[in-house]
Amino acid sequence: MSINFPLILVLTTATTGFIWLVDVLFLKPKRAAKLEAAGDVDEQTREALLAEPTVVEYAISFFPVLAIVLVIRSFLFEPFQIPTGSMIPTLQVGDFILVNKYTYGLRLPVIGTKVADINEPKNGEIMVFIPPHQDEYFIKRIVGIPGDRVRYQDKTLYINGQKQNQTFVAQIPPVNPRHLVYREKLGETEHLIQRNPYRETRVEEWIIPEGHYFMMGDNRDQSSDSRYWGLVSEENIVGRAVAIWLHKKPGLRLPEFSRNGWIQ
Q: Which residues are catalytically annotated?
A: 86, 140
Work out whether strand 189-195 and strand 179-186 pair parallel, antiparallel, or are unpaired.
antiparallel
Phi, psi of 66 (to 5 degrees): -60, -40
47, burial (CB in 10 Å: exposed 0-12, middle 13-18, buried 19+): exposed
**Residue 246 near residue 260, CB atoms below 8 Å:** yes
Closest by CA position to 127, among listed 264, 240, 212: 240
What sign has the CA pseudo-torsion 183, 92, 212, 123? negative
Cis check: omega of the bond before 89, within 30 degrees of 0 = yes
The gap between the terminal CA atoms of the chain, to the nearest Å, is: 31
Point out which residues pair with 99 in neighbouring strands: 78, 241
Q: How far apart are CA 100 and CA 80, in angstroms?
A: 11
Cis check: omega of the bond before 79, within 30 degrees of 0 = no
Q: How far apart are CA 93 and CA 83, in angstroms?
A: 6
Count CB atoms within 10 A of the CB of residue 37: 8
